[in-house]
Structure 1
Amino acid sequence: MDESWVNSAEGIGADLHLELSGPGGRRAALIGALREAVRSGRLAPGTRLPPYRSLAADLGVARNTVADAYAELVAEGWLTARQGSGTRVAKRAEPLGHAVRVARQGPPRTRGPRHDLRQGTPDASSFPRAAWLTSYRRALQQAPNEVFGPGDPVGRVELREALTEYLARARGVRTEPGRIVICSGFAHALRLLFGQDRGGGGGVLRGPLAVEAYGLGFHRQLLRAAGVRTVPLPLDEHGARVDGLGRERAVLLTPAHQFPTGGPLDPERRAAVVDWARARGTVILEDDYDGEFRYDRKPVGAVQGLDPERVIFIGSVSKSLSPAVRLGWMVLPERYVDEVRAAKGEREAWASVLDQLSLADFLSSGSYDRHVRRMRQRYRVRRDRLVAALATHAPHVEVTGVAAGLHAVLRLPAGTERSAVKAAAWQGVALEGLAEFRHPETDMAAGDGLVVGYATPSEHAYAAALDALCAALPPEETLTADPGRG
């Protein structure tokens, strides 16, 4: 048995008596000793613990051992860590007697997170209800009788015409109404293209499909269910390394704003991937998931504009309006239009015809442009508040990918991502670690980080969400922890 007294240096922290024993090494022993000291009530809520260096020196272990132990106990809720305040016993932590009473009463009721900072959804409270209702009423009043029959699977011509004008003006897309097919969103587009719509069957496209090394896992699962093998392309500061493309039959990219790491695809690489598609007779799938939201640089046009016959451009209103509207579009090369139409079937089974007419009016009346401009300004302010909060409370955390989109990536010290996600959950914050988006077959590692969406919380809840996020981040001491392990 190794018994150590921890002496607070210069009035920082408290004297502790810790017994480092049992299986699992020094780190596990330290975690167990600190947990028991809190559980038994020997360490009262609010007690400030010694800094890493002091505790490591007194115990004869590496600073990383102490840093890991503190981080684990912060994630579990036994401790809290704030920049400038040190590491303290959490005020929620209760002595053993109370824990026993709670256990006898049964498990506590579970509840969802108080703050949703996951990427992917806009602020639901900002949906333009009045303007949408105006468009809906006008569309309903002007709708011809045929609207109330079976829907055309390619989509209403009114919406395809409105999209042709809007996409050319706002995204640099070159098309015509006859080459646009309406769908219910990006996932639906993938199902149509790769054969999983209506329960399977041969697809318009086949694998292998090259994808970016970091992306949405749900899309990879959908493709895997369709029998499509995905081949990861490494990423760097210029976007996807398209020079790694080989004999794949297609490539899926997020060129306007790489998801989730951020940044546009370099112009030379845009040209190179188009040249590859031409030379191989293949096609590029362009996911324009948040092309409207640009803050600190000029808008990046669509790759589709470089060669409309080699790019399938896919977009939706999920980020700009709401995922509840369930409307998206594919801008197709001429050779794919009939095949995609056949994949949809004889009748429209997914996208509401009345919603299509409403969106057509919303676009042609200018309401969509006004809404996007308003939300672009609102999300810019939210992004700036996030950056400012981190600069104040966690200046050691680097923020990247903030020139566009609805999320940011917070870069963390190596080995701290998992603990930070757990600590965020304890603070009532739902978010995702960067590792969740990594392709399972890639050799590339983008480092530790958190993917933080700043669009979802309502205005009145955003300040509290930022406070909770900052409270969950690893302290600055983890940046200077010794590389050795105890």
Structure 2
Amino acid sequence: MGRLRTGSGPAEDLLIELDRNAGVPLHRQIEASIRASIRAGRLRAGASLPPTRTLAAGLGVSRGVVVEAYQQLVAEGYLASRSGGYTQVAVSMPPAATEADAGTGAATAQPDPRGAGFRIDFGYGRTDVSQFPRAAWLRSVRTVLTTTPNDRFVYLDGRGVPELRQALCDYLNRVRGTLADPGNVVVCNGYGQGISLLIQVLARRGARRIALEDPSSDDDARVLAAAAGLDVVGIPVGPDGVQVEALDLVDADALVLTPSHQWPTGGVLSSAARAEVIRWARRRGAIVIEDDYDAEYRYDRSPVGAMQGLAPEHVVYCGTASKTLAPGLRLGWMVVPAHLVADVASAKLLADRGSSVIDQLTFADFLGRGEFDRHLRRMRPVYRRRRYALLDALRTHLPDLRPAGIAAGQHVVAWLPPGLDEAAVVAAAARRGLRIQGVGRFRISGSGPGGLIFGYAILSESAIAEGVALLAAAIRDGS
């Protein structure tokens, strides 16, 4: 697999956080962020950086600020300028040692089968598969079939093909701020298989209880944990995600989180809360399972790095192509702590002898060519327009509903005002030919405020407006 091509890392896909109140010049902050990523091993030699204009636009700074930062890093030897104005990482450094080295997704929302007879369906957890980049995918398939050595088509390591594991590390370290090593990546058939493998391994290692966010759509974890003999407990969710002070009240061995965009409420776990979760995991010797199900789709906020980069020895990072490309690909991946890799890879081999080699190599080529980045850049404005249509319709027709979690993802939760019963609203909407889900069915405790989940990814803007108008009529008429 070739290394990343120039331009495959756009501004919104390079994890740089700027603090305009820090009293530190912006170019120094950009320098420090890129330098730290190189030193930590998140950016490898040969990885391309975004063009200065693209990065400046994404960060909201002048191009001169980015040029000054790049020039300083070139002078220090971290970056190299290539012909045509391309800038690439010039050096590789090993990731910082972890305790394991020293010897020590929503839960992805799983939609219900689509009901027949609905005029408009706000079903959640879906991506617009009509936008799948068929031509680009086909180019990668052809490349794989014409260039792959024969020995790649035999039974392989349970972790997956090396080309994809390396490509995923390059992508995740650059975009999500992970501290991933190819040796710790396990390729799986989506989040559903990934969580199944993890629960099997944890149960065999003596785990007795798993904690989930409440509310949470992770029916996979609930069913699989029960089948493995594990208890399941819920941790309440507040506006900013899981309430970390409740963690010490449960004797859990593992915690499943959606910290970058809590499913379904949309909360983003603060840096202080993330640090407390990590401290809890270290005290308990517990594992945090980070379901990063839709982090690529953000619209009104700065990028939020993955928790795995904070404590790779205690966090399993889970990602899939289901929300970005198509769920039918059945491509997922986990970045697993070193002490669990062998057991998880063995469980994967026992489950199915490994995922499709051709699909893995195709995705590796697709990533390496920068096609994944280009597809995301093309889809973000599409989903952003649909989200705007939903919010405009809610303001017009249902101003008493309070939208939440609107800055990212492919769904919005709207909290109902007191006096509106969630179940009654859902039933009234169905009688009008409108399918919509309530938050209540995803609560583990069974109690909490009423709310509705609007999935907007596959609906046109006109259908979204029509659907909200139908909902308003159903609520108004109570029929």
Normalising by structure 2, we get a TM-score of 0.71
Paired residue for 2:103?
none
Mark the CA change 1:429 to 1:203 in structure 2 (over 3 Å): closer, same or farther.
farther
Which of 1 and 2 has greater Rg? 1
Which of residues 155, 158, 178 in structure 2 aligns to 1:153?
Answer: 158
Paired residue for 2:145?
140
Q: CA deviation at 1:476?
A: 7.8
Paired residue for 2:240?
238
Paired residue for 1:3?
none
Question: Does residue 119 in structure 1 map to residue 124 in structure 2?
Answer: yes
Paired residue for 2:226?
224
Q: How many residues align?
A: 360
What amino acid does structure 2 have at the position aligned with 1:238?
A: D
Quote the Cα distance in structure 1 between the aligned partners of 2:353 and 2:438: 36
Contact 1:286 1:313 in 2 (8 A): yes
CA-to-partner distance for each residue in 1:291-315, whole Å, 9 max, x for gaps? 1111111011001111111100011
Paired residue for 2:215?
214
Which of residues 230, 238, 253 in structure 2 aligns to 1:249?
Answer: 253
What amino acid does structure 1 have at the position aligned with 2:207?
A: R
Q: CA deviation at 1:465?
A: 4.1
Mark the CA change 1:154 to 1:356 in structure 2 (over 3 Å): closer, same or farther.
same
Which of residues 273, 276, 279 in structure 2 aligns to 1:272?
Answer: 276
What amino acid does structure 2 have at the position aligned with 1:214?
A: P
Mapping of residues 329-340 of structure 1, within 5 Å: 329-340=333-344
Which of residues 181, 191, 200 in structure 1 aligns to 2:186?
Answer: 181
CA-to-partner distance for each residue in 1:269-310, whole Å, 9 max, x for gaps? 100010111112111110101111111110110011111111
Paired residue for 1:467?
466
Contact 1:434 1:451 in 2 (8 A): yes
Quote the Cα distance in structure 1 between the aligned partners of 2:473 and 2:464: 17
Quote the Cα distance in structure 2 between the aligned partners of 1:294 and 1:205: 38
Which of residues 370, 380, 387 in structure 2 aligns to 1:376?
Answer: 380
Contact 1:432 1:451 in 2 (8 A): yes
Contact 1:408 1:453 in 2 (8 A): yes
Quote the Cα distance in structure 1 between the aligned partners of 2:344 and 2:218: 24
Quote the Cα distance in structure 2 between the aligned partners of 1:263 and 1:345: 36
Question: Does residue 288 in structure 1 map to residue 292 in structure 2?
Answer: yes
Contact 2:397 2:472 in 1 (8 A): no
CA-to-partner distance for each residue in 1:226-252, whole Å, 9 max, x for gaps? 222111111112211112113211111
Quote the Cα distance in structure 2 between the aligned partners of 1:329 and 1:211: 20
What amino acid does structure 1 have at the position aligned with 2:168?
A: L
SS at match of 1:251: strand
Contact 1:181 1:341 in 2 (8 A): yes
Contact 1:396 1:476 in 2 (8 A): no
SS at match of 1:260: coil
SS at match of 2:255: strand
What amino acid does structure 1 have at the position aligned with 2:431?
A: W
Paired residue for 2:309?
305
Q: CA deviation at 1:152?
A: 2.8
Normalising by structure 1, we get a TM-score of 0.70
SS at match of 1:245: helix
Contact 1:278 1:310 in 2 (8 A): yes
What amino acid does structure 2 have at the position aligned with 1:338?
A: A
Mapping of residues 332-351 of structure 1, within 5 Å: 332-345=336-349, 348-349=352-353, 351=355
Q: CA deviation at 1:346?
A: 5.9
Q: CA deviation at 1:413?
A: 2.8
Q: CA deviation at 1:467?
A: 0.6
Q: CA deviation at 1:347?
A: 8.2
Mapping of residues 3-82 of structure 1, within 5 Å: none
Cα RMSD (Å): 2.2
Q: CA deviation at 1:207?
A: 3.0
Quote the Cα distance in structure 2 between the aligned partners of 1:347 and 1:252: 22
Paired residue for 2:414?
410
CA-to-partner distance for each residue in 1:167-194, whole Å, 9 max, x for gaps? 0001000011000000011111111111
SS at match of 2:187: strand
Quote the Cα distance in structure 1 between the aligned partners of 2:179 and 2:361: 22
Paired residue for 1:392?
396
SS at match of 1:409: strand
Question: Does residue 130 in structure 1 map to residue 135 in structure 2?
Answer: yes
SS at match of 2:345: helix
Quote the Cα distance in structure 1 between the aligned partners of 2:128 and 2:348: 31
Q: CA deviation at 1:412?
A: 1.5
Mapping of residues 163-182 of structure 1, within 5 Å: 163-182=168-187
Question: Does residue 259 in structure 1 map to residue 260 in structure 2?
Answer: no
Quote the Cα distance in structure 2 between the aligned partners of 1:156 and 1:336: 18
Mark the CA change 1:204 to 1:168 in structure 2 (over 3 Å): closer, same or farther.
farther
Mark the CA change 1:289 to 1:207 in structure 2 (over 3 Å): closer, same or farther.
farther
Quote the Cα distance in structure 1 between the aligned partners of 2:411 and 2:339: 36
Contact 2:386 2:464 in 1 (8 A): no
